[in-house]
Structure 1
Amino acid sequence: MNELEYLDAAEQLLLAVEQTCDRINDETDADIDAQRVGGLLTLTFANRSQIIINLQPPLHEVWLAAKSGGYHYKFDGSVWRDTKTGNDFFADLTRDAGVQSGLALVFQA
């Protein structure tokens, strides 16, 4: 994957997360504050817990930091996969957002 392909795929991922937060806020009682500065997206839940998603262009990775730990994802051509477990980024985000918010939230590409 070259730099432009990485940046395009990573931008699509961040946009999907932001759009999902908007949808969740519109359709549920959840209150997710999604703040983006460049390649850093911070999700703050009503209880003030946070999940941070950060692009890592030199490594062609996306990093996710949640209460459960820190995770590194690489794009496999179709989905972003954790470099250790192989888990899908959106499955992990769904799990961690649900635990941290106390609500059944679903994030998807």
Structure 2
Amino acid sequence: MGIQIKRNTGVMGGTMPVSLLVEGQKVKKLSNNEEYRIDANQSAVKIKANQMYFGSAEIEVEDQSIVEIKINQTALLLLVLSFVFLFVGVVMSPIVIGVGVVGTIVTMIYATKNWFDLKVMKS
């Protein structure tokens, strides 16, 4: 019995460990493609992933499930677009730089709870 968790964040999220929180307690730091098994004493537990400032939404997972931690593609796209606006704005105009700064701030706020997707593969 238990919940198996696998981190599969690829190149963009693979440089730093991801902290796995179970019921609000940090239980393990996962490297890329690392797996960890949680022995669940209950029928369902709440899990969350964090990496410095970035994180995921907390989800409830039932016993005997497989959970995959992935990078949220929407958050990654927003971050890349914001940086493109910042760099292109240096050449074009201060207005484009402003759009890039606002986009970066919005992306950082969004990424606090949406940088990672926790996908339940099997339950």
Q: Over alpha carbons, which structure has the higher Rg? A: 2
Larger proportion of strand:
2
Relative contact order: is structure 1 or structure 2 higher (C-alpha 8 Å, sep ≥ 6)?
2
TM-score normalised by L of structure 2? 0.31
